[in-house]
Each structure stands twice: as structure tokens, then as C-alpha cells.
Amino acid sequence: MKRNIVLVGMMGSGKSHIGRKLAQRLGWQFVDTDRRIERAVGMTIAEFYAHAGEKGFRERELNVLHQVSRYHEAVISFGGNFPMSIETYRILHRHGFIIALLSEPFRVEERVSRHIGKRPTVDYDNLREFVHKMMRQWEEIYPYCDCVVDTTRGGASQIVDTIVQKIEEKKVQFIAREKGV
Ligand SMILES: Nc1ncnc2c1ncn2[C@@H]1O[C@H](COP(=O)(O)OP(=O)(O)OP(=O)(O)O)[C@@H](O)[C@H]1O
Ligand SMILES: O=C(O)C1=C[C@@H](O)[C@@H](O)[C@H](O)C1
Ligand SMILES: [Mg+2]
């Protein structure tokens, strides 16, 4: 039995966009770890990264991971640079059904280019190469995820349909949140 759905994957794969719609469809709570961090520190992700550096940012992300991993009936979208390791994977997988989103490189480039400056570690001068490197890193993670969904094409509603179908096919059962909790 699981408690929540966790969306991971490379930047621009649509975790925030799809996660919100999936939560609406299921009538669940939506949590975006980037927004959590922004609220807690009173800065944008880019400002906080510049202020705290990579180490400070990762620490904050791990704090959020511990806070949210036990939530019930929540769709939790992680940041695009979230460090998936055996340890973080185990924490998420204990209560979460882990869905990795992936898109073809041209689509990631297109989406990431929409808001230049929003993602602090993107190399906008060498975007193509940057995206390919990010893809190679994520390729090692996909086999560990409960399912992988391609978000290159189709609107959010269609992608949400695919996710719901995969959850049904795999007969994943979720523990309902107790009333008032
Ligand atoms: N299926 C889709 N159809 C159309 N636009 C989309 C789709 N998925 C995402 N987008 C758009 O692409 C951009 C990036 O999507 P989003 O912010 O959800 O990615 P992300 O995976 O959360 O990225 P990050 O890792 O940086 O948080 C947004 O402008 C979003 O509205
Ligand atoms: O450039 C980065 O390191 C980041 C960019 C965004 O995708 C965020 O989602 C992520 O948390 C950090
Ligand atoms: Mg996001």
C-alpha cells in the first residue's frame, strides 16, 4: 500500500504542470517542493541558490523530502535537480509510487527556454549539450522508478489519463487520509 504519488524527472519534463492537474483529477493535495522552498526562505529558487549555494540548496531540498514523504493522498512534484540516490529513493519509495516524467530533448529545450533565469544551474549558452547531459544522468534513474511517462507530446489532460491508466494497470493501492488529518 502506498500513500502518495511522487513525480521526478529532468527539468522541463512537466512535473509541476502535470502534478497539479493530476492532483486535481484525483482530488488530492498538490505539493511542489520548489514552491515549498520558496515559501520557507522568502526567495525564488534562483535567488536562494545564489544565496545558499548548491550545498545549502540540497540541504533544504532534503528537509522538504523528509517533511512530505509521509503525506497521504498527495501528488508531490520534485525539483528538476533533485538528487535521486539510493537513500532518497528508499525514503520516497516507502510511501510513494514514483513516476518519472521524460520528454525528448527538443521539447525540454523549448520548455526550459521559456523562462530564462528561473533555473539557476541551466547553461543557457550551451543548452543542447546541457540537456543531453541531463538526459544521460536521468537514464540511470528510470529503471528504479515504478513507471516512466513520456510527456513530449499531448496536453496535460491526456498525460494525466495515461498516468491514471498506468496506476490502474499496476493495481496500486493507496491508503486514504484519515478524516481531519
Ligand atoms: N504537456 C504539456 N503541454 C504543454 N505545456 C507543458 C506541458 N508540460 C509542461 N508544459 C509547460 O512547460 C514548462 C515547464 O513545465 P514544468 O514547470 O511543469 O516542468 P518541471 O518538470 O516542473 O520543471 P522543473 O524541474 O524545472 O521544476 C511550463 O511552462 C509548463 O506550463
Ligand atoms: O537549476 C536548478 O538547479 C533547478 C532548476 C529548477 O528545475 C528547479 O526545479 C530545481 O529545484 C533546481
Ligand atoms: Mg517544477
Choose among 128, 179, 159, 162: nearest CA to 16.
159
**SS3 at position 129:** helix
Given pLDDT bands bounded at 50, 70 and 90, which one contains residue 177?
confident
- For residue 45 and ligand 2, the question of a CB distance below 6 A is answered with yes
In a domain, 178, yes or no: no
Q: What is the CATH number of the domain that holds 18?
A: 3.40.50.300
Average pLDDT of span 146-169: 98
CA of 122 to the centre of ligand 2 (A): 8
SS3 97: strand
User: Is 95 known as a binding-site position?
Assistant: no
Phi, psi of 7 (to 5 degrees): -105, 125
Number of folded domains that form the chain:
1
Q: Is 173 left (phi over 0), alpha (psi -120 to 50) or beta?
A: beta
pLDDT tens, 84-93?
888 999 999 9
Residue 130 has pLDDT above 60, yes or no: yes
Containing structural domain, residue 57: 4-169
Q: Is 45 in the pocket of ligand 1 (CB under 6 A)?
A: no
Ligand 1 centroid distance, CA of 91 (Å)? 25
In a domain, 174, yes or no: no
pTM: 0.96
Q: Is residue 131 domain-resident?
A: yes
- Give a yes or no: residue 38 inside a domain: yes
Atom nearest to 159 CA in ligand 1: 1
pLDDT digits (tens, 9 = 90+) for 34-64: 999 999 999 999 999 999 999 999 999 999 9
Q: Is residue 175 part of a domain?
A: no
| Long-range pairs, 51-55, Cβ under 8 A, ≥24 | 54/121
Residue 114 within a domain: yes
Q: Is 60 annotated as a binding residue?
A: no
CA–CA dist 125, 53 (Å, integer): 21
Identify which ligand lies nearest to the alpha carbon of 162.
1
Smallest CA separation from ligand 1 atom 16, residue? 14
pLDDT of residue 181 exceeding 60, the answer is no
Q: Single out the residue of 52, 108, 44 nearest to residue 80, CA to CA.
A: 108
The answer as to whether 177 is a domain residue is no
Ligand 1 atom having least distance to the Cα of 17: 18
Phi, psi of 96 (to 5 degrees): -115, 145
β-bridge mates for residue 101, sequence order: 9, 149
- Closest approach atom of ligand 1 to CA 7: 21
Grid cell, residue 153, equals 507530446
**Cβ burial, residue 19 (10 Å; 0-12/13-18/19+):** buried
**Is 145 among the domain residues?**
yes
Q: Look up residue 87 and give its three cell numbers.
A: 537513500
